[in-house]
A and B are shown apart, each in its own frame.
Chain A
Amino acid sequence: MKKKTLALMTVLAMATLAACSSQTAAPAAQSSAPASSETSAQVEASVEVEEAGEEPEVGFQEYPIWEDEEVGFLNVSGVYFQPVPMSGGNENYEQYNLHFEADVSTMENDLGYGVGEWVPYMTVDFELTGKNSGEVISGTFMPMNADDGPHYGANIAMPTADTYSVKITFNSPGENGYLIHLDEETGPGGALEDYEWPLVLELEDVWEYEPVEW
């Protein structure tokens, strides 16, 4: 009898909590819609968040930091989520509290990249500066793949809640040996040298960050 009661209570409790999901998500959808006096890209982003909320098989939440900032021929969005083990000796992630990621895609360009493609071979440095703490967190992103494709990212330790400014420096793929055809017949028409490298994206006070329980 006791076992039955225990099992019943466990199932009931978990079901009750699970049932709260729709109640939590519904106002979310409502409240994000009228607040979207921002750009259409931001609206799209919130729609994506809502859609993701209804998708049970995706087990982690990407938190957006900024969307669709343009620098040179690059479109850059920033997100973060839980720190992750990565291959190549980067399995240990216990010292980190988030995975910071720059999603880079190309806009119209004459370098031969298709619109919306990822750009490999760049060295991408990041620098985060806390407004109140003055704390500076910097490093170099690593190129990597997640289940949503390739990106530049890094596990980082960010223990302090603060408003952070973000600076991302994109160094030319040419520095790492990436080449562009230059001839009229096969070349895309442009060269990496046509751009003023490094491309620097600076966003002031863009990230209201607080440590998250993953």
Chain B
Amino acid sequence: MLKYLIATIETLFPAAVLTGMLYGCAKQRFGEKEKRFLRIATAAGIVAAIVMAYLKNKTRLIRTDTWNVRIFGVSIVCFLVFLILDSEPFRKKNRSIWRTAAAFFCAVLVFLQWFYALPDVLANPYTIILGGDALFSTGFLYRMIGVVTGLALMIFTCAAVRFVAGRVRISYAAFLCKTAFLLISIQQFLKIVSILRARRILPRGTLFALTSFSANHADYYIYGLIVLTAVLPLLLLAVSMRISEPYENPAQLRKIRAGLRRRRRWSFAVMLCCFTVTLFVTGIKAYANRPVELSAIEDCIRDGDVLIIPFSQVEDGHLHRFAYTTQQGAAVRFIIIKKPGSSSYGIGLDACDICGETGYYERAGQVVCNRCDVVMNINTIGFKGGCNPKLIDYRIEDGQIVIPVETLDTEENNRLFGK
């Protein structure tokens, strides 16, 4: 659940704050007609994202990287045009045509934000089922709770930023909004370079140091946006603590006070959103992705060329881990678990063909692959194939599991376990 919540936040946060900022600036700078562009663009972006989510997952028509190049390219161009149209010389002319044009490019930027970010979030129900979770399963439910919570948080963030940006002095709001777009445009430009280079349209090595730094520090863009967003409520709070407007009667005073209270509440809401997002993309993300510590390796009896594990040691239905050091010095781990409702045991290496020697751990009575998080069917442990543990030879004798060391001492196991 947490991973899906964090992924949704990371995907939608830029779209949410940039849209909120643009709406806020538009409220102060544009007329009613121009503001309608933004509303239409948002709705169009959502509709287009739904279409894209369907086409991307159910047809072969969409190449994500090609579409990303288009979206990023158009977005950067629109941002640059918007910068020009919103510059001092154009604004001084005070002609409605320039204002309308600026609003149009703002609207395109809003459209592109949602068109880019939303499809993957909307496709989650489909991709979760594709990943092996049934529609009516706990796994599906938990994951979708994460997605829906993230979506709700981002919609609220967008609304809160919109309110605050619409009441901060326009020059400050516009500066923060443009800086935020500049930050995202830099990231988008580097992503374009990366895609074109991977497709060998740009020569090998083109800006690789820069693009790889950007890719390895993608969180920095989120942090940058959080900082820029967090400045907005501070600016609004600074002018919302005291009454500075004149009033003529108690009714006007009450109205002004109510307005200030509202501003303060929304400012705190934005700060709370920024804090929550920071928490999720830092500490909680680290917690959600923390490596699982495998349970300790248990002792077993070595008798000549065999290892002996008495039933009494492993009959509790939990996962038991053992290890044998080969002649080449590799610690080959193997696992034993008693199958539920059965007297038989699932026995195999603590490794599979796909994920290597990453190991398995026990979570809520289930055996889970430490790398790919696949939940194993305990009853199929000991069968060949897929994510199942690699097979080893063993025999049952006198209430004991007997494993010949020869089966663990193979060259393949030495390779698998690091020697």
Q: Mark A54-87, 1 if CB is under 8 A from B, else 0.
A: 0011111101100000000000000000100100
Report yes or no: B70 in contact with A20, Cβ–Cβ below 8 A.
yes
Least Cβ–Cβ distance between A49 and chain B, in angstroms: 6
Determine which of B66, B194, B385, B415 lies in contact with A24 in the assembled complex, contact meaning CB atoms within 8 Å. B66
Docked CA distance A14–B45 (Å): 10
B203/A89 in contact, CB under 8 A: no
B396 contacts partner chain A, Cβ-Cβ < 8 Å: no
B372 contacts A24, C-beta separation under 8 Å = no
Report the minimum CB–CB distance from A9 to chain B (whole Å): 4
Nearest chain-B residue to A10 (Cβ)? B44
A17 CA / B191 CA spacing, docked (Å) = 17
The interface residues of chain A lying within 8 Å CB-to-CB of B385 are 88-89
Is the CB–CB distance between A13 and B356 below 8 Å? no
A25 to B, closest residue via Cβ: B66
Q: Can you list, as one digit per residue, whether each of B186-203 has a CB less than 8 Å from chain A (1) or not (0)? A: 000001001111111111
Chain A residue numbers with a CB within 8 Å of B61 are: 56-57, 59
Query: C-beta contact mask, A78-109 vs B, less than 8 Å → 1, else 0?
Result: 00001001001111111110000000000000
Q: Are A208 and B204 in touch, CB under 8 angstroms?
A: yes
Task: Indicate which residue in B65, B130, B216, B412 contacts A61 across the interface (CB closer than 8 Å).
Answer: B65
> A161 to B215, Cβ gap below 8 A?
yes
A79 nearest CB across to chain B (Å) = 11
Contact A125 B415 (CB under 8 A): yes
**Cβ proximity bits B39-51 to A, threshold 8 Å, 1 near / 0 not:** 0110110011001
Give B370 Cβ to nearest chain A Cβ, in Å: 10
A189 proximal to B (CB < 8 A): no
Q: Which of A92, A140, A210 contacts B374 (CB 8 A)?
A: A92
A208 to chain B, nearest CB (A): 5
A25-B66, A89-B386, A161-B213 are known; give 7 further A-B pairs, CB within 8 A: A10-B47, A21-B66, A35-B203, A60-B63, A61-B64, A63-B198, A213-B191
Check B70–A24 contact: CB distance below 8 A.
yes
Contact flag A59-B63 (CB < 8 Å), given A208-B197, A212-B198: yes
Q: Which of A26-34, A111-119, A177-185 lies at the interface? A: A26-34
B180 to chain A, nearest CB (A): 20
A residues in contact with B281, CB < 8 Å: none
A28-B196, A89-B386, A90-B387 given as contacts; is B63 within 8 A of A61 (CB)?
yes
Contacts of A129 in B (CB 8 A): none
Task: Let me know if B353 is at the binding interface, CB within 8 A.
Answer: yes
Asked if A157 meets B371 with Cβ closer than 8 Å, knowing A13-B111, A92-B131, A94-B131, the reply is: yes
Is B73 a contact of A61 with CB atoms below 8 Å? no
A211 to B66, CA, bound (A): 15
Contact of A140 among B69, B194, B353 (CB under 8 A): B353
List the B side residues contacting A155 at CB < 8 Å: 354, 372
Contact present for A14 and B48 (CB under 8 Å) = yes
Q: Which residues of B contact A57 (CB under 8 A)?
A: 60-61
Q: Does B388 contact A (CB under 8 A)?
A: yes
Whether B356 and A139, one on each chain, are in contact in the complex, defined by CB atoms closer than 8 angstroms, is: yes
Judge whether A59 and B62 touch: CB under 8 Å: yes
Number of interface residues of A (CB under 8 A): 61
Is A138 an interface residue when CB atoms closer than 8 A count as contact? Answer: yes
State A5–B43 Cα separation when bound (angstroms).
11
6 contacting pairs across A/B (C-beta < 8 A)? A20-B70, A59-B63, A60-B60, A91-B130, A163-B208, A212-B194
- Asked if A139 and B216 make an inter-chain contact with CB atoms under 8 angstroms apart, the answer reads no
Query: Which B100-122 residues have a C-beta within 8 angstroms of A?
Result: 108, 111, 115
Q: Are A20 and B131 in contact (CB under 8 A)?
A: no
Chain A residues near B208 (CB-CB < 8 A): 163, 208
Interface residue? A142 (CB, 8 A): yes
Query: Which residue of chain A is the closest to B388 with respect to CB atoms?
Result: A89
Interface residues of B in 338-363 (CB under 8 A from A): 353-356
Tell me the minimal C-beta distance from A199 to chain B in angstroms.
15
User: Are A31's CB and B201's CB within 8 A?
Assistant: yes
Query: Do A139 and B354 form a contact, CB below 8 Å, given A13-B44, A61-B66, A91-B130?
Result: yes
Q: Which residue of B lies closest to A84 (CB)?
A: B130
- The answer to whether A58 and B132 have CB atoms under 8 Å apart is no
In B172-223, which residues have CB < 8 Å from any A CB? 191, 194-205, 208, 211-213, 215-216
Q: By the criterion CB–CB under 8 Å, are A2 and B70 in contact?
A: no
Shortest Cβ distance from A3 into B: residue: B43
- How far is B60's CA from A70's CA once the two chains are assembled, in angstroms? 33
Contact, CB under 8 Å: A46 / B131: no
Residues in chain B near residue A95, CB distance under 8 A: 371-373
Q: How long is the Cα–Cα vector from A145 to B207 in the complex, in angstroms? A: 36
Given A20-B73, A85-B132, A94-B131; A63-B372 close (CB under 8 Å): no
Contacts of B386 in A (CB 8 A): 88-90
